[in-house]
């Protein structure tokens, strides 16, 4: 049980985490800080936080647990601003979608106190953002990737793992680099592709008309393109090398398929489509203790 959660970034992810932690009885009070005072006011009215803090530093003061739920590009500045009151007894954690850049930002931002910081990425979320969408159920049964590094303290690692498990999540450990390579393949690049797919239709002369004709296939393959542009801009730039590597590999597959179509290679084309069909049918989304085929 924590005495006080200092929540920095009272948006979808941070607000949902505070609600889940409170519901599980794991924290006595939540002190929140966000960039805009209107956000913390709303968080207070919604019961997400108990006290509004005028700065990140004030949110951390008196907290034994600090959660950063800000855009990944804000990590270093936020950590620098709180560094001198971080102690080796506190647990600091983030929820950012990229991890190598976050670990580098934490090293620069926290310096000697970086061992208290445990990088985390919950595989949960929505296309909508902001405190208005915070929901205590957001993390139910989700996977959480923790990416400790050589400075991570054992006590904080155990605490971080225990907190997520107490919220019903399944915890997996990876290196920051392995995390970024994997999520470039199954999250970051697919998001980029979904945006390109929408743009490809929307910018055609008859694009608007075509979109009125689209059905569930277009809806399902492009759903994630409705995500927050600033958050995704940050993710693509933070994980540039891995995202571009996935993009180049994808273009090769696309070109191979184009050539088969161009040359009427029906047998080879069907073989490729069948391989993709089998891989997709065999895939099951991993959740806590089970797998499910529900699309996310």
Minimum gap (Å) between residue 128 Cβ and ligand NAP: 8
Among 62, 64, 81, 100, which residue's Cα sits nearest to residue 9?
Answer: 81
The piece of 45-53, 93-101, 110-118, 148-156 that touches ligand NAP (CB under 6 A) is: 93-101
* C-alpha count within 13 angstroms, C-beta hemisphere, residue 180: 22
Q: Which of residues 201-240 bind ligand NAP (CB under 6 A)?
A: 231
Tell which positions 94-123 bind ligand NAP, by CB under 6 A.
95-97, 122
Which of these segments, 89-97, 151-159, 248-256, 269-277, binds ligand NAP (CB under 6 A)?
89-97
Q: Interface residues for ligand NAP in 18-37 (CB under 6 A)?
A: 33-36
Q: φ, ψ for residue 143 (rounded to 5)?
A: -90, 145
- 112's CB contacts (< 8 A; 6+ apart) are none
**141 touches ligand NAP by CB under 6 A:** no
Number of residues that bind ligand NAP (CB under 6 A): 27
149-168 positions binding ligand NAP, by CB under 6 A: none
CB 106 within 8 A of CB 113: no
With 0-12 / 13-18 / 19 or more C-beta atoms within 10 angstroms meaning exposed / middle / buried, residue 281 is: exposed
What is the dihedral angle through the alpha carbons of 22, 136, 48, 179, rounded to the nearest 10 degrees?
A: 90
Instruction: Using the rule CB under 6 A, give the single segment among 5-13, 164-172, 173-181, 197-205 that binds ligand NAP.
Output: 5-13
> What's the per-residue H, E or C state across 245-283?
HHHHHHHHHHHHHHHHHHCCCHHHHHHHHHHHHHHHHHC
Q: Which stretch binds ligand NAP (CB under 6 A): 67-75, 106-114, 199-207, 242-250?
A: 67-75
70 lies in the binding site for ligand NAP (CB under 6 A): yes
**Residues in the site for ligand NAP, rule: CB under 6 A?**
8-14, 33-36, 39, 69-72, 74, 78, 95-97, 122, 125-126, 129-130, 231
């Amino acid at each position: 049980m924590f005495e006080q959660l200092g929540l920095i970034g009272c948006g979808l992810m941070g607000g949902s985490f505070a609600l889940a932690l409170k519901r599980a009885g794991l924290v006595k009070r939540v002190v929140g800080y966000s960039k805009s005072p209107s956000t913390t006011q709303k968080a207070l009215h919604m019961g997400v936080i108990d006290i509004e803090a005028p700065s990140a530093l004030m949110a951390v003061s008196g907290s034994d647990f600090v959660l950063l739920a800000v855009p990944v590009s804000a990590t270093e500045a936020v950590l620098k601003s709180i560094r001198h009151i971080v102690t080796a007894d506190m647990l600091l954690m983030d929820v950012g979608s990229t991890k190598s850049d976050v670990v580098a930002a934490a090293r620069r931002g926290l310096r000697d106190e970086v061992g208290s910081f445990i990088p985390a990425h919950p595989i949960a979320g929505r296309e909508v953002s902001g405190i208005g969408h915070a929901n205590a159920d957001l993390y139910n049964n989700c996977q959480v990737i923790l990416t400790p590094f050589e400075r991570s303290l054992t006590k904080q690692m155990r605490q971080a793992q225990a907190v997520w498990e107490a919220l019903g999540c399944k915890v997996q450990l990876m290196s920051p680099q392995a995390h970024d390579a994997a999520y470039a393949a199954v999250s970051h690049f697919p998001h980029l592709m979904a945006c390109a797919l929408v743009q490809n239709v929307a910018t055609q002369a008859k694009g608007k008309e075509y979109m009125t004709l689209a059905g569930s296939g277009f809806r399902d393959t492009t759903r994630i393109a409705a995500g927050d542009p600033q958050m995704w801009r940050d993710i693509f730039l933070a994980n540039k090398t891995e995202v571009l590597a996935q993009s180049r590999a994808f273009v090769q597959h696309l070109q191979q398929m184009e050539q088969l179509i161009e040359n009427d290679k029906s047998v080879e084309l069907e073989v490729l489509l069948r391989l993709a069909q089998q891989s997709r049918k065999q895939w099951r989304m991993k959740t806590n203790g089970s797998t499910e085929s529900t699309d996310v």
